[in-house]
Amino acid sequence: MKIFLDTADTQEIIRAQILGLIDGVTTNPTLIRKSGNDPLHVYSAIADLGIQDISMEVFGGLDEMHTEALKLSERFGDVATIKLPMTKEGLIVCQDLSKRKIRTNITLIFSIPQAILAAKSGATYVSPFVGRLDDQQVAGLEVVRGISSLYQIKGVETQVLAASIRSVQRAVRSFYNGADIVTMPFSVFNQMFDHILTDKGLEIFDKDIAALNKEN
Q: What pLDDT sits at residue 194?
A: 86
Q: What pLDDT sits at residue 216?
A: 66
| 159: amino acid identity, one letter | Q
Q: What pLDDT sits at residue 68?
A: 97
Instruction: Give the 3-state secondary structure of residue 24.
Output: strand
Domain that holds residue 28: 2-215
| 96: amino acid identity, one letter | D
Q: Could you please report the per-residue DSSP string of 32-98?
A: HHHHTS-HHHHHHHHHHTT-S-EEEE--SSHHHHHHHHHHHHHHHGGGEEEEEESSHHHHHHHHHHH
Residues whose CB falls within 8 Å of the CB of residue 165, separated by 6 or more in sequence, listed in order: 6, 130, 131, 171, 174, 182, 183, 184, 185, 188
Annotated catalytic residue 120: no
Q: What pLDDT sits at residue 205?
A: 78
Q: Which of 32, 31, 84 is nearest to 61 (CA)?
A: 84
Q: How far apart are the first and last CA of the chain?
A: 46
Q: Which of 83, 99, 101, 120 is catalytic?
A: 83
Q: What pLDDT sits at residue 181?
A: 98
Looking up residue 197, the CATH number of its domain turns out to be 3.20.20.70
Q: What pLDDT sits at residue 213?
A: 79
Q: Cα 97 to the chain's mean position, in Å?
A: 20
CA distance 166 to 157: 27
Q: What pLDDT sits at residue 196?
A: 82
Q: What pLDDT sits at residue 123?
A: 98
Q: What pLDDT sits at residue 214?
A: 76
Write out the H or E segment, with its range, that includes residue 25: strand 24-26
pLDDT (tens, 9 = 90+) of the chain, 216 residues, equals 999 999 999 999 999 999 999 999 999 999 999 888 899 999 999 999 999 999 999 999 999 999 999 999 999 999 999 999 999 999 999 999 999 999 999 999 999 999 999 999 999 999 999 999 988 888 999 999 999 999 999 999 999 999 999 999 999 999 999 999 999 999 999 999 988 898 788 787 777 677 777 776
CA distance 45 to 57: 16
Number of separate domains in the chain: 1
Give the pTM: 0.92
